[in-house]
Amino acid sequence: MAKEKLLLIDSDMQTLDELDKLFSRKGYEVMQARSEADAVVALELNRPELIIMDVQLDDVDGYTLLENIKKNPDWRLVPVIILSSKKKYEDKLRGLRLGVMDYLTKPYDSEELVARVRNILDLYMMKVQKKDETGPASSQERLLSFMKQRGIRTLVPRVKKQAKLGYEYPEAAKILNPEEPGGEIFFLESIARARLLERVFYDAIHICPECGHHDLNFREVCPQCSYADIAALRMITHRTCGYRGLENKFETENGKRCPRCLETLAREGVDFETSTSSLHLCAGCDTRFTEPVVNCRCMNCDQQWDVSEVLVRKIYAYKLIADTREEFLPGPPKKAMPGACEDIEKKVKELKVHFVGMDGFARQLGREIDRAKKENSGVSLLSVRFGNIECSDQKKFEQFSNHVLDGFKTLLREYDVITLKGTFEWLIMLPETPFRMAKIFAGRLRDRFVRLDDMVEVEINMASFPEDGSQARELLEVLELGIVSFQSLE
């Protein structure tokens, strides 16, 4: 049976270590996060069964992080326990109103905390099992079944001004019934992350950094006072004497007159020419300037932002993956051997390779990127997925696992980092390795595994710093989406 995963979020390293030891001894798989960024990476990589968090974090207000977790459709049902030194009634009430299952204060009683975690997890699992036994098919199953029955191969977005991101997916909305217009996009993203739908780029939109809404008004404003009532000043050129100046210098009570030669200018195109100046005038503060500043106002939350702060969100069409749609429609799922992940993890720890858990992998990646920035070097990631594996035969499965581990032991260097994401998926970090070297390594890895068993399907995806991103989260997203595959580079 797979271990239940707990995510600990606390800025205090001592508290994290104490809780880690406590729950590891009780048989849980523990992930740690000291900041909002660490927490988001952990949640995206390996969603836990329960979160224990403090609301006093160094980089963000814990309640804000809690709100973001509860707003995310992939995480909102994960039970949360607050463990904090904040003891006021108002703090507890605020947490409970945000949907936490329990609010405990420090210092805590270890046995009481363990018991409360166990009770919450048991209650949560009872609800999940009851829903599975008596409830309708999941939204994911209903949507995939609907697409197959109607012959819909691709869900194409349609403009919907009322939607938060400005688009909706009408066919998906009929099945998923989102709470707000366009809300089905978040369900589609989770299905795509499960590799049941393929993303196909459709559009890129600008969204507000505060509320995430697409309704933005971009405008040129005065760099001094941010007033939007500005105008480019007009210039006049006297065709006879060649004098050129701002239009207001030519204005007199009796019409236009050249300031240099005092000749009256009556006919545009004959006596003088007009043009637009590089100077602008602000009607608010009367300041003259050469270049206005571009900013935007969110028409949803009324916040103003510099154009460089505005976020860009990609919009995709979602294509049914022909090779997998039959496999993932309702029916008995294919299962790996019982305890497969635990057995493989135990074996890999016996090898002389740097093996870490998923949360440790993300933290290590962040540190390696920081080091690469200082040393002007590269960091590369590989995901290695195996398909067409015979997992019902214990002997064949163990033989396959041993072949994979021998391959890693032979090819990996001492400072390379490896983690097990699933029974048939590995992530490999190659420090001090630019993209071109990682590509060579990926080829050797693929060739070795194919030689071992030509019936086994090997899929290798890649991501590298700085080519594919400058943060751990960006590289992991590129890897997850399979944007850069070794096969496509050959």
- pTM summary value: 0.39
Closest CA to 8 of 43, 52, 69: 52
Between 475 and 82, whose confidence is greater?
82
Looking at residue 158, its pLDDT comes to 92
Give the mean model confidence (pLDDT) for residues 484-488. 53
Radius of gyration for the chain, computed over Cα atoms and rounded to the nearest angstrom = 30
Tokens of 59: 């980089």
Looking at residue 1, its pLDDT comes to 46
* H-state helical runs in 76-213: 89-97, 110-134, 139-150, 170-176, 184-193
Give the mean model confidence (pLDDT) for residues 176-185. 83
Between 456 and 28, whose confidence is greater?
28
pLDDT digits (tens, 9 = 90+) for 3-61: 788 999 998 889 999 999 999 998 898 999 888 888 887 887 778 889 999 998 888 88
pLDDT digits (tens, 9 = 90+) for 196-219: 888 888 888 988 887 788 999 988
Tokens of 11: 């800025």
pLDDT digits (tens, 9 = 90+) for 147-165: 887 778 889 999 998 998 9
**In CATH, what number does 5-134 get?**
3.40.50.2300
pLDDT above 70 coverage of the chain, percent: 83
Looking at residue 475, its pLDDT comes to 83
Give the mean model confidence (pLDDT) for residues 277-305. 86
CATH homologous superfamily of 331-489: Reverse transcriptase/Diguanylate cyclase domain (3.30.70.270)
- pLDDT of 83 > 90? The answer is yes
425, 373 contact by CB (below 8 A): no
Looking at residue 278, its pLDDT comes to 73
Looking at residue 413, its pLDDT comes to 80
Looking at residue 21, its pLDDT comes to 92
> What is the Cα–Cα distance from 355 to 349, expressed in whole angstroms?
6
- pLDDT of 109 > 70? The answer is yes
H-helix or E-strand spanning residue 25: helix 13-25
> What is the Cα–Cα distance from 186 to 172, expressed in whole angstroms?
11
Closest CA to 300 of 207, 213, 217, 219: 213
